[in-house]
Copies of this chain bind each other. A is one copy, B any other.
Amino acid sequence: MQKKTNKKSRKKLNTIPGTPIYTGDKDTDPIIITHIEYNKSCFQENVYKNLEKYKKNSSSTSVSWLNIDGIYDLKVIEDVNQHYNIHPLVLEDILNVSQRPKFEDFKDYMFIVLKMFQYEPETFKIYTEQVSVLLFENNVVTFQEKEGDVFDPIRDRIRNVKGRISTQKADYLAYSLIDAIVDNYYIILENIGEKIEEVEEEVFSNPTRKTVEKIHYLKQEIIQLRKSIWPIRDIANGLIKSDSPLLESSIKPFLQDLYDHTIELMDIIESYRDMTTSLMDMYLSNISNKMNEIMKVLTMMSTLFIPLTFMAGIYGMNFKYMPELEWRYGYPLLLSIMMTIAIGMFFYFKRKKWL
């Protein structure tokens, strides 16, 4: 994420503000433009290669959703501009894939940027994709970096002309899209939560150097998620507080629900942060405990045998006159003394609770 942010700045240095420049990775996949138009009774879906044939919907009886997968083609963006007359800074933000999630209320339209996460179970990685939503009176335009999103359930509902969505205006469609993205965060957080439990297990049973790396990467992921989710609070709040005619009053409870969800998400993330910090403490204390255990073994062995070895060394000396060496029972006596010392040591360790 940082990398992209930086790429942006490098390219942007030579530009004036408001110049739309794509900052993501160039895709070789073709841009896919999907246009869905629906109302209470009917439904129509088209896929375009470019926007030339597309006309802006100004009928108040149906809702139009234009989705553009792939934003590396300036031509398409300019066509959108021509159709909808958008502020150049908005175009720039759409193309800048490291844009912070935000909400802006222009009089004729609203502009919302969000991050959509995709967890790929095969690679165990989380991928980020930027989704920009433009809400007009009867139109919603969405921009995604590439194909594949979390909007399929919404499409199904529209296609089947069933449920609340078909009877509602464009504001409800926009809300549904945002809600789908936010709901998807729960899955990502579930994934993080499972990883935390896994690492917790590892910390308790068999902590290794790999464990601390895992905790470190978990922390990094949580920091990244936090950066993406935190601003959504402001977006939801901005939508609730907005008195724009684009939002009907019936949408407000839904927006409040969205706001509650982001608060809940932040609660979960904060508790994950606390948990990883606690795990790190656990890990460090476990290492110290292990060290203590190792040191105990070393100290016991040394404390036991060093004096005995010294005594053996004494009677290994070659002095001419060492009367003990001549004693008949010198050797068994010494062995008994050594045994006594060893037993004494044993009880000393017992008292010290080293055994």
Structural contact, A186 and B9, CB atoms closer than 8 A = yes
Q: Does A193 contact B (CB under 8 A)?
A: yes
A-side interface size class: 35 or more
A135 to B209, CA, bound (A): 55
Q: A47: CB under 8 A from chain B?
A: no
State which of B263, B289, B326 has its C-beta within 8 Å of the C-beta of A287.
B289
Chain B residues near A354: list those with CB within 8 A.
294
A6 touches B176 (CB 8 A): no
Give every chain B residue within 8 A of A213 (Cβ-Cβ).
204, 282
The answer on a CB contact under 8 Å between B302 and A301 is yes
**0/1 per residue, A79-101, Cβ < 8 Å to B?**
00000000111000100000010
Interface check A125, CB cutoff 8 A = no
> Within the complex, which residue of B164, B290, B312 is in contact with A310, where a contact is CB–CB below 8 Å?
B312
Q: State whether the Cβ of A43 lies closer than 8 Å to any Cβ in chain B.
A: no
- Near B by CB (< 8 A), chain A positions 217-249 give 219-220, 223-224, 227
Stretch from A34-42, A53-61, A139-147, A251-259 forming part of the interface with B: A251-259
Does the CB pair B294–A13 fall under 8 Å? no
How does the 8 Å CB contact mask read for A93-112 relative to B, with 1 for contact and 0 for none?
10000001010100000000
B284 and A3 contacting across the interface, CB-CB below 8 Å: no
CA distance A257 to B87 in the complex (A): 12
Q: Shortest distance in angstroms between A252's beta carbon and chain B's nearest beta carbon?
A: 11
Binary contact readout A279-307 vs B (1 if CB under 8 angstroms, 0 otherwise): 11111111111111011111101110111
Report chain B residues within 8 Å CB of A329: 321
| A287 B288 Cβ-Cβ under 8 A | yes
Min CB–CB distance A119 → chain B (angstroms)? 12
Q: Give a binary string over A4-18; 1 marks a CB under 8 Å from any B CB, 0 the rest.
A: 011011101111111
Report which of B100, B183, B285 forms a contact with A267, defined as CB distance below 8 A.
B100
Q: Could you tell me which A residues sit within 8 Å of B by CB distance? A: 2-3, 5-6, 8-10, 12-19, 87-89, 93, 100, 102, 104, 150, 153-154, 157, 163-165, 175-176, 179-180, 183-187, 189-190, 193, 204, 206, 209, 212-213, 216, 219-220, 223-224, 227, 253-254, 256-257, 260, 263-264, 267-268, 271, 274-275, 278-292, 294-299, 301-303, 305-310, 312-322, 324-331, 334, 353-354
What would 6 A/B residue contacts be, using CB atoms closer than 8 Å? Answer: A100-B264, A219-B278, A220-B275, A284-B284, A318-B318, A320-B328
